[in-house]
Structure 1
């Protein structure tokens, strides 16, 4: 047996509740109308009609013999009840209320007429009421025509009007609930944007009081995060400046040292360590920024990949290029260049062989992909997700030591900033692959439009 499940969203639940309440209220209103308004009216009409029928029966009993023939023709008098005249129609939603009225009327009429005057309602063909009366003291079945207006009192119009008002109430409730839920949707979009590293957006606080309080709290949190980010950037900039100043002086002092055979190796090693310290400082600065302040521009991603591959080829590291056809992509050029450089440097450092870069697009979801792969020893499957965490790094295969472990964390941040993600995979046949997805310009527009709907 399948269990009924409520909608997941608060908006859908509220709409479902409002629809259910409107339906229940309409059913209750119609039930009250039928039982406490229409039924008493029908019963009173049947009581009055019973008096008229008994009066008619008394008149027919005392009718003159020469007039009885004409009366018998007038009322279609018959000693036997006509076959098929009392056929019961099937009850449908269209004739439900009419059948209900007829049954209430007949039951009440039978209660107020003598047992010697049975009543039948002819439903087939012309609507007629058959009553066994007395014509000259002889019992006859006589037919009384029932005009359409007698059993068509506008109830169908009332039901249609009730349904129309219910539908209007549902539409109005939908619009009101949609207006109330708009701040919640804006809050969810802002929170999602904040989680992907986008610049935080200040929310409007002109909605309902309860939701406005949440928006105010969210804006206060954004303000606190902006202050913390500014403080962090200032602190990192100060640390970078204060450390790089003595590093520059130390580099100058090493360069000015008179070279000799016994000091050449020490000078080269010292200069290498200074370069390493400077690269570590730059990685920390890159991780702190991650391109949030850089404006996006529509550019050619394939051209950027080709230029970087040419630069690496000049250093002796050749990447095999497989460039697909990409739609215009709005990206932050410096940040995306940092993504590609980090991935290609990792491929050179950890893979060294089988270097390749491949690009392609998925037009269905409006997303562009860049894959940087190698044929090195690869990484254990259990360690793939851990590599994206800050300060996690693999083991280099060459003479160069590993970095700070921020390279892939920087890549993932920048990918999320572009509406994408970073995937780390083991290659079939050996090796390692890093795939970065970036939304195209059309995909970003459709995403924004979906958020506003």
Structure 2
């Protein structure tokens, strides 16, 4: 019973959500204007159904009373007084009169295809109550007057009554006031809410750009008090994050310098040791350990620093992929590249992206003999279910790196992105961690999948 009762409610809720605007501006304007419009519609209906109906009946009754008075005078007064009656009616009642002796009103009832309007109904009803003689009305002949013909014993009385006596301008003024005030209030509400929503939209754009690593500077607090507080909080948060990253980078640079100094002394000491056949192998092992420590220190510094202070700028992703592939070939890898003929220009940190692509190709080179790299643009809808990426563009820029190596089991692929998880000889375990850190700083992500070549596929995507 409850499930059956809730089904119509869910249908109504879905229909309401499909009609209600999704944006803050649209919803705010709807919240402001909906009560105003409802109030004005109710006021118009009450005015039209009550006040206007009363006024219309009174005006029609006034015209019908004048016509009935003239008809009654013509019945009672002798024919020689008709001229005086006509003059008095024209001057005092604003009615143009004519009398057609011996005539009879022709025609039957109004055809069903020509229904009476409310005003015509009111006039006919009032004439029937007051004149008490056969009559008909003509609303078509003269656009400025209504012609009433009344059957008298010796002829037909023609009365031309100005239409302005039957209409009231109050309705038009009231409607103009309603529509004008609604339009004015709507314009004021739209302008006011646009200014308020613009502050929220600027804050959202600044947060999105900062999340993608595009530092556009502090935003100006504007709008309502809450929006200004949010903007001030964002500026403070941005400054704290920048200060934290800068302090961390400077600290790690100092640590790297401090570590490299004793390592350099150790290498110098090893080089100055006397060479003996018995100690040659031990010295070579120590030199290899020092080199390994230097490589690890440099890799850790690169991981902790991320992209450093490099700012995003328009760059060609296809060209960066071609350069990374050329470097991998010089290192002895067999790399095939499939890319569009034209450039794929987008906001990037070129040096960081080169480091990311170099790490991916270097990892593939260590474990495989053949590497294929593909670059293409994929619609956002085709990858809507994947993680990461908050860009507002219609496409993702996608780079896939496939190899024919042993690959990584599905259960261990996420762990491969953790620092120092690699067990490859000569590696530090930071390549994939650095690559993902760079890509996520651009608003994208990296996923590891099974490659069609039998090895591992690294799928990199960036918002265009």
* Shorter-chain TM-score tier: 0.7 to 0.9
* Among 196, 213, 217, the residue aligned to 1:201: 217
Q: In structure 1, how many angstroms separate the alpha carbons of the residues matched to 2:437 and 2:156? A: 93
Deviations 1:328-355 (A, max 9, x none): 4553332122111111111123x31221
Match of 1:48 in 2: 62
After TM superposition, the structure 1 = structure 2 runs for residues 281-430 of structure 1, keeping only pairs within 5 Å, are 281-296=297-312, 301-325=317-341, 326-329=343-346, 331-349=348-366, 351-360=367-376, 365=394, 368-381=397-410, 383-384=412-413, 387-388=416-417, 390-391=418-419, 393=421, 396=424, 400=425, 403-404=428-429, 406-418=430-442, 420-430=444-454
Q: Does 1:85 align with 2:85?
A: no
Q: For each residue in 1:288-320, what CA deviation from the matched residue of structure 2 results, as whole angstroms up to 9, or x when unmatched?
A: 332251144555555544444343333322222
Aligned to 2:243: 227
Alignment of 1:187 onto 2:203: yes
- Give the stretch that moved more between structures: 361-370 or 236-245: 361-370
* TM-score normalized by the length of structure 2: 0.74
Shift of 1:117: 5.8
Distance 1:308 1:16, change over 3 A: same
Aligned-residue CA RMSD (Å): 4.0
* Cα 1:84–1:115 shift into 2, 3 Å: closer
Q: CA offsets per residue over residues 4-60 of structure 1, 9 Å max, x none?
A: 113332222012223423422432443354356534432332342343233134224
Distance in 1 (CA, whole Å) between partners of 2:51 and 2:459 is 72
Does the 8 Å contact 1:373/1:432 carry over to 2? yes
Q: 1:212 to 1:300 in 2, by over 3 A?
A: closer
Alignment-derived partner of residue 448 in structure 1: none
Residue by residue, what CA displacement relative to the aligned partner does 1:203-227 show, whole Å, maximum 9, x if unpaired? 2123222211221222222222223
Residue 234 of structure 1: how far off its partner (Å):
2.7
Helix, strand or coil for the counterpart of 2:70?
helix
| Residue correspondences, number | 420
1:14 equivalent in alignment to 2:28: yes
Ranges in structure 2 where 5+ consecutive residues have no aligned partner: 1-10, 83-96, 380-392
TM-score (norm: length of structure 1): 0.75
Distance 2:183 2:250 in 1: 59
CA separation in 2, counterparts of 1:427 and 1:380? Answer: 12
Aligned partners of 2:322 and 2:453: how far apart in 1?
26
Preserved contact between residue 420 and residue 436 of structure 1 (Cα < 8 Å): yes
- The separation in 2 between residues aligned to 1:126 and 1:105, in whole angstroms, is 17
